């Protein structure tokens, strides 16, 4: 009883968070329509799902290669990976707005539409991806080396299809062979930086290794995003140019600049000195910047022409989903004790 009672103070300050997020979403839905919230919810869902899937990815990577770095953040990565089924279910509301998100819905009058871009194939692929990621998340903490390798292979295929289906097919004329890798590294970066908010400090070497991985992830995301832009833009193809121009219109430029500053420039400069990469307190501040930059980047790519509204929707959605997940976790822990 005492342990359950101790959970109530946390609930007392947590419960307004999802309530406020839900209230904001209701107001926006009444003023903008449900379709107007679709892109922002998609960005927030990809952010939450990326946190969980990225945590599974790090657990599987450690099962394959080992390393003492995991000791600094395993206590965050394991419960985060276990939340993958919950994060997957958070995408169910998007089923109501798929025709507003994807112009090809329910299919294209072409061979590509008959074989790939149609509602049935899209939903089957999404179900396979989300069920697979959910199973990996539940068992990632207990995987041996062989099973972890199989999980990483599935993840590599799944993230490629997810990026193509859920993001790039918003404009069927745009394609990128590197976007799946970009999304995978972004997921790893988000999970790594979230865990950095609560690193254990009993092993300074592990903390320093964690800081080094943070720097590698920041550079990896920037490199892949920059290469995608350079290759697409230098090709001088109208379809690829239109994809970027649509995302630079209106508030898109400001969102992109903020995303680059928070997600790349500031953390890169802050992580260059080795002494800062060993300082858990500094890593927490850097992690907040990268998480904010990651969310802004997802809004930038998911919501062309709606960046201002979608940032508000994404923040409200995060408040709803993360607040609800924390309350559920507190309730489960209280009952188990």
pLDDT tens digits for range 41-76? 999 999 999 999 999 999 999 999 999 999 999 999
- Does residue 329 surpass a pLDDT of 80? no
pLDDT band for position 109 (50/70/90)?
A: low
How far apart are alpha carbons 210 and 205 in whole angstroms?
9
Q: Which residue has the higher pLDDT, 65 or 243?
A: 65
pLDDT band for position 6 (50/70/90)?
A: very low
Q: Work out the percent of the chain whose per-residue pLDDT is above 70.
A: 90
- Does residue 133 surpass a pLDDT of 70? yes
pLDDT of residue 332: 63
54-68, 78-92, 94-108, 122-136: least confident range: 94-108
- The CA–CA distances, whole Å, from 148 to 4, 51, 122, 193, 238 equal 36, 18, 27, 22, 42
The pLDDT of 112-119, averaged and rounded, is 73
pLDDT of residue 239: 74
pLDDT of residue 231: 82
The pLDDT of 231-239, averaged and rounded, is 75
Confidence (pTM): 0.90
- Does residue 5 surpass a pLDDT of 50? no
- Does residue 279 surpass a pLDDT of 60? yes
- Does residue 193 surpass a pLDDT of 80? yes
The pLDDT of 315-336, averaged and rounded, is 75
22-26, 260-264, 271-275, 323-327: least confident range: 323-327
pLDDT band for position 232 (50/70/90)?
A: confident
pLDDT of residue 322: 83
26-30, 46-50, 126-130: least confident range: 26-30
Of 153, 83, 85, 105, the closest CA to residue 322 belongs to 83
Torsion angle defined by CA atoms of residues 268, 270, 272 and 276, in that order, rounded to the nearest 10 degrees: -140
118 strand-pairing partners? 107
- Does residue 297 surpass a pLDDT of 60? yes
The pLDDT of 150-157, averaged and rounded, is 96
pLDDT band for position 103 (50/70/90)?
A: confident
pLDDT of residue 111: 45
- Does residue 112 surpass a pLDDT of 70? no
pLDDT band for position 13 (50/70/90)?
A: low
- Rounded mean pLDDT of the chain? 88
- The CA–CA distances, whole Å, from 95 to 44, 89, 192 equal 15, 11, 30
* Both tokens assigned to 17: 């968070």
Contacts of 217 (CB under 8 A, 6+ apart): 185, 188, 189, 192, 193
Largest separation between any pair of C-alpha atoms in the chain = 67
pLDDT of residue 2: 34
Spatial contact of 240 and 233, defined as CB atoms under 8 Å apart: yes
């Amino acid at each position: 009883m005492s342990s359950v009672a101790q959970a109530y103070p946390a609930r007392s300050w947590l419960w307004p968070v999802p309530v406020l997020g839900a209230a904001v979403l209701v107001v926006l839905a009444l003023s903008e329509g449900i379709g107007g919230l679709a892109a922002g919810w998609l960005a927030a869902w990809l952010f939450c799902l990326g946190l969980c899937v990225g945590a599974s990815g790090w657990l599987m990577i450690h099962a394959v290669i080992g390393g003492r770095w995991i000791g600094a953040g395993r206590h965050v990565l394991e419960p985060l990976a276990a939340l993958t089924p919950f994060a997957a279910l958070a995408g169910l509301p998007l089923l109501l707005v798929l025709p507003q998100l994807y112009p090809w819905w329910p299919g294209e009058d072409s061979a590509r539409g008959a074989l790939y871009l149609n509602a049935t194939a899209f939903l089957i692929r999404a179900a396979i991806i989300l069920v697979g990621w959910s199973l990996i998340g539940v068992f990632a903490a207990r995987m041996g080396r062989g099973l972890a390798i199989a999980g990483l292979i599935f993840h590599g295929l799944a993230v490629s299809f997810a990026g193509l289906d859920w993001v790039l097919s918003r404009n069927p004329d745009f394609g990128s062979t590197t976007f799946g890798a970009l999304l995978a590294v972004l997921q790893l970066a988000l999970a790594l930086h979230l865990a950095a908010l609560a690193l254990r400090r009993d092993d300074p070497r592990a903390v320093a290794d964690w800081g080094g991985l943070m720097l590698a992830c920041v550079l990896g995301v920037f490199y892949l995003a920059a290469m995608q832009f350079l290759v697409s833009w230098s090709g001088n193809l109208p379809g690829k140019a239109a994809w970027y121009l649509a995302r630079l219109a209106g508030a898109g430029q400001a969102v992109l600049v903020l995303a680059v500053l928070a997600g790349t420039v500031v953390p890169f400069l802050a992580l260059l000195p080795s002494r800062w990469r060993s300082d858990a307190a500094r890593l927490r501040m850097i992690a907040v910047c990268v998480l904010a930059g990651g969310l802004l980047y997802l809004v930038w790519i998911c919501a062309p022409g709606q960046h201002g509204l979608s940032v508000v929707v994404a923040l409200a959605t995060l408040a709803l989903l993360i607040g609800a997940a924390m309350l559920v976790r507190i309730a489960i822990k209280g009952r188990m004790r």
